[in-house]
Amino acid sequence: MSATSQPASSNATPRAKKITAPYLRALKAKGEKIVMLTAYDAAFAGQCEAAGVDVVLVGDSLGMVVQGHSSTLPVTLDETVYHCKAVARGLNCALLLADLPFMTFRDADTALRSSARLLAEGGAAMVKVEGADYVLDVIHALERHEVPVCAHLGLTPQSVHKFGGYRVQGRDESAAERLVRDAHAVQDAGASMLVLECVPATLAKRITGELTIPTIGIGAGVDCDGQVLVIYDMLGISPGKRVRFSKDFLVGTGSVRGAIEAYAQAVRSGAFPTAEHSF
């Protein structure tokens, strides 16, 4: 059996075609949810692929859950390329999305060089950048050079020192209006997708309704076009207290593959997240 074949008992839908940015936009148009998970090596990537995950993210969360740092800031571009290469070997159809680490997209030229490595060496098909403001020029430059971009707004972990901790964003009216403006701005700059992290569910719903690109929520309620979790959080093996927006899908499923399938099914049916996982 290959890493991507389906056992008879699997609930996952076997896929024959590569998942692409236009396909993800079509899913939004059809009202079908997008399933995203992080992975950092070929074995977990293979499990995601086999369970029918649409997008596999090599997130800079690897700094915290793999390397044991207290933030994502120490992650380097070399390390991200290394993990991308490993994940790419475990994938067949799922889209490989890679984070641009802290300061590797500080201007358009640096972002183009960094992204070239993630796509050409790492095998990624899309890169993710945190923030708006100067990042709008970066998104525009990448898009003009044929690099699909996923924007990331709300709790952007690379801004942890500016925020003073990992806090829910967009709670008051002016912060919420700013987030709505930023969401439109990243779309207008050419982003193909938008991750919304730790924002009130009602705000994420509004942004999702107003944008034409898919939104992917993490701690952003059930009304986003898709969901993402850090894989070690949803397997209950991340160190420390469980984060509110995650759920241990290993409980009651008994295997990594079963847990990922249960997560994918819960996202697609709208059963996850519930109010308990939202703000």
Binding residues (CB under 6 A) for ligand KIV: these are 38, 57, 59-61, 99, 195, 197, 218, 228, 230
Smaller CB distance to ligand KIV: residue 245 or 262? 245
Smaller CB distance to ligand KIV: residue 42 or 229? 229
Smaller CB distance to ligand KIV: residue 119 or 198? 198
Smaller CB distance to ligand KIV: residue 109 or 163? 163
Q: Which of 197, 210, 261, 276 is catalytic?
A: 197
Smaller CB distance to ligand KIV: residue 187 or 215? 215
Q: Which residue is nearest to ligand KIV (CB)?
A: 59
Give residues with Cβ within 8 angstroms of 54, minimum separation 6. Answer: 19, 24, 27, 34, 35, 36, 94, 95, 226
Whole-angstrom distance, CA of residue 154 vs CA of residue 57: 18
Of 79, 41, 87, which Cα lies nearest the Cα of 63?
A: 79
Q: Shortest gap between Cβ of 142 and ligand KIV (angstroms)? A: 17
Q: Shortest gap between Cβ of 2 and ligand KIV (angstroms)? A: 27
Please check whether residue 83 is in contact with residue 45, taking contact to mean a CB–CB distance below 8 angstroms: no
Smaller CB distance to ligand KIV: residue 6 or 106? 106
Q: Shortest gap between Cβ of 232 and ligand KIV (angstroms)? A: 10
* 276 a catalytic residue: no
Q: Shortest gap between Cβ of 199 and ligand KIV (angstroms)? A: 12
Could you tell me the two tokens for 248? 């241990």
- Active-site positions read 197
